[in-house]
Structures are given as structure tokens and as C-alpha cells.
Amino acid sequence: MVPKMLSPLVKDWAPKAFVISFKLETDPSILLERARRALETYNHQAVVANVLDTRRGYVVVVTKDTQKELVLTDEEVQKEVEIEDRIVSNLTAAHSQFMSQK
């Protein structure tokens, strides 16, 4: 078992930090519910949520106010584009917005 570190990270160690977690599920019907529940439970800024079967081509970045689907096209998959590029771009923008509100 891995200890849950998000709670002390957000509450005690770095309460002003932009914290992101990841949620991987096998059932797409519970993905968004679990991502939102994590945001409520840990009070952090974003969850990168995906389903095991489609993890390389589809993710959802969930924040308290938004839900952004990041999807690779078939052509991008053939060109071996990685979804991580989209994730980093999305989170960089979210971090910039977070910092501008502080």
C-alpha cells in the first residue's frame, strides 16, 4: 500500500502550490465522478483523468470549474504524437492562470 500523500501536501507542506493528481480507471462511466471526488477530498487544483484502454490517446483534465478533453486524432497516433504534449500545454496554461490569481 502506498500512503496517501495529497492531503498533507496540500494542507501542510505546500498549501499555496499548484498541485495535480492523476486518476486512472478501467471503467469510463466512473472516471469523471472519481476525478471530481478527488478534487473535493484533497482540495488541489487539477486531476488528469484517463481510462486504461485509451490512456495514450484520450485524457480529461478536470479542475473545480472546468473539464477539458484532450484527444489525439488517428493521424496523430499514426505519427506517434504523444498525449503528454497536450497535457503539459494544458497544465502550463492552468498554472499560469492559477499564478495570476494569487
52-87 pLDDT tens trace: 999 999 999 999 999 999 999 999 999 999 999 999
Among 26, 72, 64, smallest CA distance to 45 is for 64
Instruction: Sketch out the chain's domains with CATH numbers.
Output: 6-100 (3.40.50.10300)
Q: What's the chain's average pLDDT?
A: 94
pTM attached to this predicted model: 0.91
CA 7 to chain centre: 16
